């Protein structure tokens, strides 16, 4: 299991979410935007970030640097106060990006 913070059932949920998301993207059900939601730039490939793998089609569209930044913050918090949960709330996500854009 590659992600040291996930149980097997959470890992499978994550993989299923990726599959559903990527299938929808390839079929054109959802469209990848040109600009990052956080920094507004179009310099990098835009990636879908899941706050909650239980909602595979609900993503935030982030450029690679912003996506990496959000995951680094999440990993730091997860080691401390997240208590092992694999999703974050919209409010927690907004706090993370406000640090970057603030």
Along the 102 residues of the chain, how does pLDDT read in single tens digits?
455 556 788 889 989 999 999 999 999 999 999 999 988 999 999 999 998 889 999 999 999 998 988 888 777 666 655 445 556 677 877 777 776 665
Q: Alpha helix locations (H) across 1-102?
A: 8-27, 64-80, 90-101
The answer as to whether 90 is a domain residue is yes
Counting the structural domains of the chain, the total is 1
The answer as to whether 2 is a domain residue is no
Residue 90 CA to residue 58 CA, distance in Å, equals 11
For residue 40, the enclosing domain spans 8-101
The answer as to whether 52 is a domain residue is yes
The answer as to whether 1 is a domain residue is no
CA dist list (Å): 97 to 4, 22, 52, 70, 79: 24, 24, 16, 7, 19
pTM of the model: 0.74
Residue 49 CA to residue 62 CA, distance in Å, equals 7
Task: Say what the alpha-carbon torsion angle 64, 65, 68, 74 is, to the nearest 10 degrees.
Answer: -130
Closest to 33 (Cα-Cα) out of 49, 19, 22, 47: 47
The answer as to whether 32 is a domain residue is yes
């Amino acid at each position: 299991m590659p992600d040291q913070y996930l149980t097997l059932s959470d890992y499978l949920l994550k993989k299923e979410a990726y599959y559903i998301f990527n299938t929808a993207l390839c079929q054109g059900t959802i469209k990848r935007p040109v600009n990052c939601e956080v920094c507004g730039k179009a310099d990098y490939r835009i990636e879908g970030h899941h706050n909650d793998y239980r909602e595979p089609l609900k993503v935030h569209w982030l450029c690679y640097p912003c996506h990496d930044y959000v995951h680094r913050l999440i990993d730091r918090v997860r080691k401390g106060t997240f208590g092992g949960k694999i999703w974050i709330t919209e409010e927690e996500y907004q706090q993370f990006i406000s640090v970057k854009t603030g």
